Amino acid sequence: MLPKLSIVDFSYLDKTKLLEILALRNSDYVREKMASSEEILEDTHLLFCESLKQRTDVLFCGVYLENKLVGVIDLKEIDLNSKFYESGCYFCKDSKNITYFANLAAFIIAKEIGLTKATCYVKKDNIQAVLFNTMKLRYKTTKETDVFYYFEKDLATPKNSIDNLKAKISSSYELVINFNKSKYSK
C-alpha cells in the first residue's frame, strides 16, 4: 500500500490545523527563504484563512503525508480569463521528496480549474529552490532582478496532462485532493 499524500484546501481545515500551518510558516527555516520573511500574527493568519472561503483569486492548501503536515502549496493571482496563476510553496525541513509530488498535484489543481500557465519567483540566494524549479519542475527562467529569479511553465503541453501528472504521483503515493473546484467555475 502506497503512503497517502493529501492536498487540502485551507477552507476545509480547522483552527488547530491552521495554527499548525502558521507555526510552519513562521519557522526560521521557512521564513529565511520567503520573499516576505516577517512573522505572521495568529489573528492575522486566521482572518486571512477565513477570507479564503470567499476568494477565487487564490487557493492555499495544506500538504499532508499520512495525515502529518509537511508543507503548503498555493496558487495566487488566479486569472481564469488569461488562464494564469502564480505558484508558491513551502515545506518542512525534512520533506524534500514530497515537494516534487506536491507541486505536481498543484499543477493538477490548476489544470482542473482551467489554468494553463504557471509562474513563480525565487530568491536568488535560494539555490536549492532555483535548481528545483528549473531542473525538476522544468520552469523556464523569464527574467531576474537583483533579488529574484522569475520562472514560467506551460501546463498546456501533452506531457503536463492531468493523466500524466497523476501517473507520476501514483507511482509513489496515493493522491487525495480536497478543494472546492466549483468555486473557480466561470
Q: Which of 17-21, 27-31, 102-106, 143-147 comes out lowest in average pLDDT?
A: 27-31
pLDDT for residue 40:
87
Mean per-residue pLDDT of the chain: 94
From residue 157, how far is each of 55, 78, 90, 101, 111 by CA, in Å? 28, 19, 26, 18, 11
Residue 77 is part of a domain; what is its CATH number? 3.40.630.30
User: Using 50, 70 and 90 to split pLDDT, how confident is the model at 145?
Assistant: very high
User: Using 50, 70 and 90 to split pLDDT, how confident is the model at 9?
Assistant: very high
Q: Which of 41-45, 82-86, 123-127, 182-186 comes out lowest in average pLDDT?
A: 182-186
Kindly give the residue spans of alpha helices, DSSP state H, lying in the chain.
Answer: 15-25, 28-31, 42-51, 96-112, 127-131, 162-170
pLDDT for residue 59:
98
pLDDT for residue 183:
92
pLDDT for residue 96:
67
pLDDT for residue 38:
85
What's the pLDDT tens digit per position in 81-99?
999 999 999 999 887 689 9
Distance CA 88, CA 98 (A): 14
Distance CA 99, CA 90 (A): 8
pLDDT for residue 34:
74
Nearest CA-CA partner of 71 in 10, 3, 135: 10
- b/e per residue 129-147 (b: at least 16 CB within 10 A): bbebbeeebebeeeeeeee
What's the pLDDT tens digit per position in 153-179?
999 999 999 999 999 999 999 999 999
Share of residues in the chain with pLDDT > 70 (%): 99
What's the pLDDT tens digit per position in 10-54?
999 999 999 999 999 998 888 787 777 788 899 999 999 999 999
pLDDT for residue 186:
61
Q: Which domain holds residue 99?
A: 4-184
The C-alpha angle 31, 55, 96, rounded to 5 degrees, equals 35
Domain tally for the chain?
1
pLDDT for residue 154:
97
